[in-house]
Each structure stands twice: as C-alpha cells, then as structure tokens.
Amino acid sequence: MSQNDWLQLVGPANLATNLVLLNILLAVLILWSLVWKGIALWKAAQNSAKVWFIVLLIVNTVGILEILYIFVFSKSAKGRSTSG
C-alpha cells in the first residue's frame, strides 16, 4: 500500500465517514454488552451467586464472560442446588 493509498483511506474526505462508522460500531458493541450483562446479572441474582454477580458487574468482557455464565456456569449451579 503506497502512501497515496493510505492518505485516501484516512484522509479528511473519509474522516467523517470513518467516525460515523466507528460510532455505529461502538453503539452496537455497547448494546450487545448491556443485553448480555443484564441477562447474566439477572440469572446470578436468581441463583444467589454473589461472587458471580460481583464479577459480572465489575469485569467488562464485551459479553463473553456473561454468555459463558448464562449457558455453562448457571446451569451447573442449578444442578448443584437442586440435588443437595
């Protein structure tokens, strides 16, 4: 990629477009994270998992830890509480 190509990519003409796309991507990422965080916190509260609730509240993993909690760890917590 030559310097001229690079300037066309990041030059002032494309700066506004790049900022708009970046803002849209950021908004989608925030919405994605909030949805999964809300669901995971709700499940942690229902399961009385205080440690998980605090970890999910503090750590921001863009939904990865929240999805793991919902589909992996919350199910194993339910199995332990009903069998004991």
pLDDT digits (tens, 9 = 90+) for 26-48: 999 999 999 999 999 999 999 99
Stretches where the chain sits below pLDDT 70 are: 1-3, 6-13, 77-84
- The model's pTM is 0.71
The pLDDT assigned to 14 comes to 76
The pLDDT assigned to 81 comes to 52
Q: Which runs of E-coded beta strand occur in 1-84?
A: none
The pLDDT assigned to 75 comes to 80
Neighbour count for residue 38 (Cβ, 10 Å): 12
C-alpha to C-alpha distance for 2 and 9, rounded to whole angstroms? 11
Neighbour count for residue 77 (Cβ, 10 Å): 18
Widest Cα–Cα separation across the chain: 68
